[in-house]
Structure 1
């Protein structure tokens, strides 16, 4: 044999041996559907793209998530699964086969670690579980971190309960997807070193709204013990009249009538999402689609359910940012016809009430400042405090926060700004700005402590009291954190529990 050929064969043998060795070191875990193989990243064990339900396509479109079939061979859980079908960058991406989760665990042992489940935001029309890095809580905090995909847009929230009993829960497919993922976690998390009785669900924006809908669904009982809602509450849940009229707008954009609704069952996914993208274009898309009071998944008014004592005593950490709406409206926007361009698309039938509040705010603020303040109140703050009040009155432990750090910018504490600090997107050890470094330590530390203990107070900062509507004590996160008693909490008694109404 020639020396050159001998060298090539030897090199190939070494490569094969190395690959086999690497695979032998990869973690393998048995789930209720079969064995899965993950990978080692940053010295922890990671499993990506684990299917928690059957692909919701074909006959399963607009249906509750179905049980995934068993698999015989070890399933490679080494790559993120497809994102849910969505409109992104003027094109449709993703797949209806999207129901997967990603799991980051320090080790697959029997330590019964706390578990946090991240539900992503994106107006319930965009985003995916891989948008947040689970290493943020798993690598150094000894917390199992799970991120999930759920059905988005029309496939997750198009109400068709009036079409037939088979589709009674179609408006809550996204809610049911989260519940299915939580059931998978409860069934399997022990094998990954987690405790099924120490599960926290966490979400921001649409993610916070979605987990709030999950929380007030009787179907979620016993699946989690704690709840972190950043900039979102039950304001996303709408009545069936609004849900049907939203569907009609999509149908009309397709050139269809209410009688053609069954065509949704067979139309290509791309066609549906393209039209949905047109309907949801602009600021109004923030609230156009969402969960529904369908009588099956969500059986009644969210506030009444929370106050009735039927809901489990879920410990809650809830908050908003000081100037949420500055992320959606700019200082140079045309405010001449603000009711038509901003309030009407966002609130529809509720727009006159918001416009009246805006007119009142103009007495003390500039037009832009009034716009930001009023939108922040009506889109986020009012609803978070309403829900916190009901929970606290029902003897459920609640801790409230307000994110105020503006990073030196006017109206800087905007929607989503807190995420970079909670998720350690910038490693504290690499941050040179002392204020940002301390803010990261304080925010991330409080979240870690809450996930692990059910109380956000840390040993170095034990001063965050539980919230009640009398003293209204909240933690302010700024260059330094401090507790304050809010003089008042804005609440327009005439404004309904749902942000988007379309009668």
Structure 2
């Protein structure tokens, strides 16, 4: 799900949560593995190399690759993350092009499948230092090499400055170009860590999934990955250049820079630039301003999934998934949005949150007619989920099916959190199942037998795709029209055709607009 108003990290991983996290999640041994110039460490029986620089970049410029050879370097701790709002407890720096590797064995002869993870945060926030996305357990239990990537975000990665001249021609997609550079690093160097550069899978949650969808339409990314999985992350359309320019101008106004003072923007202290990210978005009318991939006709010459699925990636096997009640993550059932909710105010409150322009009262009436036993709260979360981001996933899967892509699989996570009964199966809740980080800070999965069984199944599905180009679940049917076969991940795992089909049809009566675009 892509939404600029709030992200998983601002909800789950505050500085207070980090401060309360006990001692290292994974036990370390004295062993110090080495690959080339990099000295790693041992975590939970696998070899970890953290904070490997894959590139460098000046502000608003294309990244350049980091040389492979050089002086001996420790790679034993995470490097700084991209400057952003809301994560004051972590080291931040514009010098943030670093990745992390976990491998069962840094043996060039091993040729294990490689899984490269891109983090969420709506192109604006986030990082892969989140304990939920540490890769030791996935590497160990899945017998794969795991790579996680940090890159430039927000205005640093996506502000549209091309109107200021050719020097800034790539500015609207620099964050994506960082990811492409990281994938080129994987292609060139992952064999030294025991990985197979011919079997590289990208996967990402929320904004990370959207970044993958965008890469699937970027010519420079072609051939750099061989399978993909998106988890509650979709990018049907990119931002248009005129909207992107309006946002850049809004940022400059918030920073009290003259409209033409691009040099001031380029040299502004980073702390001030980050403050300006709170600017009101001139397109959506609220803040913070959205910065995401721009249809620049060079790096990104078309929308990812409009008017159809980008042909260059139809042969890439792909898993697409969402959770059953996405919006329970960021529309707090204990908060003001739900306080006093009843049938008299449901339509107005629901209408504030959806991204498809339908009469809210008509929508409520349809839900009540179809599910007369539902409470206002049940309708609220069903409608805000189905009318907000889920349609983007449906469109992507449908467009792949229409174009004849045979290797597409869709899932829905419906296992409710045993930790928080009001949470249901919410946005981000699939992350710990795939990574095996059930007990990490920020996880709502619990660690009971049901959680462990589902984690084994989902991890097997994802690692199977990385290894073979097919999910590691034998009876997971391909997604095709009109059946829309979907794997439902709950305490019981089952196949179901077109779950929530009537809601899909209801919201399809009006056009979907990608949030932020």
TM-score scaled by structure 1?
0.83
Is contact 2:325-2:427 (8 Å) kept?
yes
- Match in the other structure for 1:310: 312
Deviations 1:142-183 (A, max 9, x none): 100001101111101111111111212211111111110000
Displacement after TM superposition at 1:343 (Å): 6.2
Match of 1:390 in 2: 399
Answering whether residue 121 of structure 2 is matched by residue 122 of structure 1, we say yes
Distance in 1 (alpha carbons) for counterparts of 2:89 and 2:448: 39
CA distance in 1, matches of 2:485, 2:493: 13
Counterpart Cα distance in 1 of 2:35 and 2:301: 37
Q: Name whichever of 366-375 and 250-259 sits farther off.
A: 366-375
2:350–2:380 contact (8 Å) kept in structure 1: no
Please state whether the residue corresponding to 1:228 is helix, strand or coil.
strand
Report the Cα distance in structure 2 between the residues aligned to 1:287 and 1:205, rounded to whole angstroms: 18
2:259 match? 258
Partner of 2:302: 300
> How far, CA to CA, are the matches of 2:216 and 2:288 in structure 1?
21
Check if 1:437 corresponds to 2:446. no
Q: Is the 8 A contact 1:38 1:76 kept in 2?
A: yes
1:389/1:468 contact within 8 Å kept:
yes
Tell me by how many angstroms 1:431 deviates: 6.9
Which of 60, 63, 74 is equivalent to 1:62?
60
The superposition leaves residues 457-477 of structure 1 with CA deviations (integer Å, 9 ceiling, x where unpaired) of: 43xxx2210001211110111
2:97–2:178 CA contact under 8 A, matched in 1: yes
1:311 offset after TM fit, Å? 3.0
Is the radius of gyration larger for structure 1 or structure 2?
Answer: 1
Give the CA deviation at 1:238: 1.1
Aligned to 2:364: 361
The answer to whether 1:27 aligns with 2:33 is yes
Distance (Å, rounded) in 2 between the aligned partners of 1:230 and 1:317: 8
Displacement of 1:248 in angstroms is: 2.3
**TM-superposition CA deviations, 1:97-132 (whole Å, max 9, x none):** 000000011111111100000101122222212221
Match of residue 417 from structure 2: 407
Task: Give the equivalent residue in structure 2 for 1:17.
Answer: none
Counterpart CA distance in 2 for 1:303 and 1:316 is 14
Structure with larger RCO (C-alpha < 8 A, sep 6+): 2
Residues in 1 aligned to 2:280 and 2:289: alpha-carbon distance in whole angstroms: 12
Q: Give 2:484's aligned residue.
A: 472
Equivalent residue number for residue 433 of structure 2 = 421
Q: Is residue 378–residue 499 contact of structure 1 (8 Å, CA) maintained in 2?
A: no
1:278–1:246 Cα change, 3 Å = closer
Structure 1 CA distance for aligned equivalents of residues 161 and 212 of structure 2: 22
Match of 1:49 in 2: 51
Higher helix share: 1
Q: CA deviation at 1:79?
A: 1.8
* 1:413–1:222 CA distance, 2 compared to 1 (3 A): same
Matches within 5 A, 1:449-460: 449-458=464-473
Deviation at 1:264, TM superposition (A): 1.2
2-side partners of 1:284 and 1:92: how far apart? Answer: 27
On the 8 A contact 2:52/2:98 being kept in 1, the answer is: yes
C-alpha contact 1:92 1:273 (8 A) present in aligned 2: no
Query: How many equivalent pairs are there?
Result: 461
2:292 alignment partner in structure 1: 290
| Matched residue, 2:461 | 446
Cα 1:209–1:338 shift into 2, 3 Å: farther
For 2:246 and 2:118, how far apart are their aligned partners in 1? 27
Aligned mates of 1:257, 1:374 — CA distance in 2: 43
Q: Distance in 1 between matches of 2:218 and 2:140?
A: 33
Alignment match of 2:41 (pick from 39, 43, 56): 39
How many Å separate the matches in 2 of 1:27 and 1:86?
33
Quote the offset at 1:69 in angstroms.
4.6
Aligned to 1:11: none
Alignment RMSD: 3.1
Q: Please, what TM-score do these two structures have when normalized by structure 2?
A: 0.81
Q: Which residue of structure 1 lines up, in the alignment, with residue 161 of structure 2?
A: 160
C-alpha change, 1:257 and 1:370, in structure 2 (3 Å) is: farther
Q: Structure 1: how far apart are the matches of 2:328 and 2:294?
A: 28
For structure 1, the residue ranges without an aligned partner over 5 or more in a row are 1-21
Q: Distance in 1 between matches of 2:221 and 2:457?
A: 31
Q: Distance in 2 between matches of 1:378 and 1:471?
A: 21
Gaps of 5+ in 2: 1-28, 369-374
Indicate whether 1:221 and 2:222 are aligned: yes
The corresponding residue for 2:78 is 80
CA distance in 2, matches of 1:121, 1:200: 17
Q: Is the 8 A contact 1:45 1:105 kept in 2?
A: yes
Q: Residues 441, 68 of structure 1: CA spacing in aligned structure 2 closer, same or farther, 3 A cutoff?
A: closer
Tell me how far 1:199 sits from its aligned partner.
0.5
Distance 2:346 2:155 in 1: 28
> In the alignment, what sits opposite 1:322?
324
CA distance in structure 2 between the aligned counterparts of 1:40 and 1:195, rounded to whole angstroms: 21
